[in-house]
Amino acid sequence: MKDDNTLTAQDLTDINGDEFTQAYQQFVKAGDLISLTRQFEQGFAQTGRDNQLSFNVKEAKVSLLDTGILLVEPESSAMSDKPSKRIVISSGIHGNETAPIEIVQQIIGDIIAKKIQVKHPTLFIMGHPVAMNIAKRFKTENLNRLFCGKHQLIEPCFEKYRAEKLEQYVSGFFNAGTSDVTNYHYDLHTAIRSSKYEKFAIYPYQADKPWDKEQLSFMAACGVNTILFGHGPTGTFSYYSSANFAAHAFTVELGKVRPFGENDMTSFQAAADKLTALVCNEDLSLKDFDNNDFNLFEALGDITKVSDNFKLYVDDAASNFTDYPVGTILSTDTGEEYRTTQVGESVVFPNANVGNGQRAALMVVPTTL
């Protein structure tokens, strides 16, 4: 093992050997990517890139590229007619967010059981095997802050190594597409705190590009009708694909965190069904966009902790999108206070336990398109 806790190919061969061969054969038969990924959290020496770990299902080729990373490519005869798409569906970027991992598993299971026919190249991701195994959001660093090269700025740890790898797999996947292909990336999460609106999505900052109403309709069809419009570049996985590959991308929060096996999967069925339909090029039956079907929010600004005297009057357990009457004092700090000024002004991601100079809450207001 190297100093930074990542394993070399030789380490992996030494550790895995026959055990991996058996587990892989079991995966080809039963399609359980969760169990294979958890068994080999650090990876394995073999990769799918040279067809070592590839097999065929129903007019498609399945390649295991790395632990938790599965590429499914339809044969050219099975590819959908134009418009063609390349789709990334990621889960488990936070290891304890199990429902999204189970959604991805459900789709992969159906593909390997030959129940569904994939029509667009799709990269499925279970993002953080190490955190999955310890049932934690992350081990050392929050993986969903490390994309867009931000992993280069931190000390060696599993997340640093994994963010770099995930960027490589996603860029390789999107770069393999031709110029007439449209890219998609849905990064599926569940939230730690409760939310006034159970399901919501963060639409990454688009700079000069307009918000895509058809994509909002797709989110609504997935059961997600609360959308928070991003207000600047970030280090999230969805922003990475949006900014670098013009992908239609979202960070999708599907409900509350629960352990494996304790998710009420019926609550996620709409999302699983629509993602399956997208991958299989089936009719999505999307409704035309209508503001009345959505709770849309734009960022108003941050409440920033300036000094040690900072006090946040929003409970850490407050639900996301809790709104306050105009004139409510939400925080005080040396010589200043934060008072709400807009009708419907609401708080998301409150956290008083941050360093000086960091964001303690994001304030948002309702908007329309």
List interacting residues with Zn ion (CB under 5 A): 94, 97, 189
Of residues 61 and 359, the one with the C-beta less far from Zn ion: 359
Of residues 53 and 224, the one with the C-beta less far from Zn ion: 224
Pairing mode of beta strands 329-333, 54-57: unpaired
Of residues 98 and 217, the one with the C-beta less far from Zn ion: 98
Quick one: how far is CA 144 from the chain centroid? Answer: 8
253 is catalytic: yes
State in angstroms the smallest separation of the CB of 94 from Zn ion: 4
Contact 313, 350 (CB under 8 A): no
Of residues 61 and 196, the one with the C-beta less far from Zn ion: 196
Contact 100, 254 (CB under 8 A): yes
State in angstroms the smallest separation of the CB of 49 from Zn ion: 28
Residue nearest to Zn ion (CB): 189
CA-closest candidate to residue 212, choices 233, 229, 197: 229
State in angstroms the smallest separation of the CB of 257 from Zn ion: 8
CA-closest candidate to residue 143, choices 94, 101, 188, 187: 94
State in angstroms the smallest separation of the CB of 202 from Zn ion: 10
- Residue keyed to tokens 């359980």: 32
What does each C-alpha distance from 324 to 79, 271, 353 come to in angstroms? 51, 31, 21
Of residues 34 and 99, the one with the C-beta less far from Zn ion: 99
State in angstroms the smallest separation of the CB of 258 from Zn ion: 13
Catalytic residue among 73, 97, 167, 253: 253
158 backbone dihedrals φ, ψ, rounded to 5°: -60, -40
The per-residue b/e assignment along 185-200, b for 16 or more CB within 10 angstroms, e otherwise, is bbbbbbbebebebbbb
Q: Which residues are catalytic?
A: 253
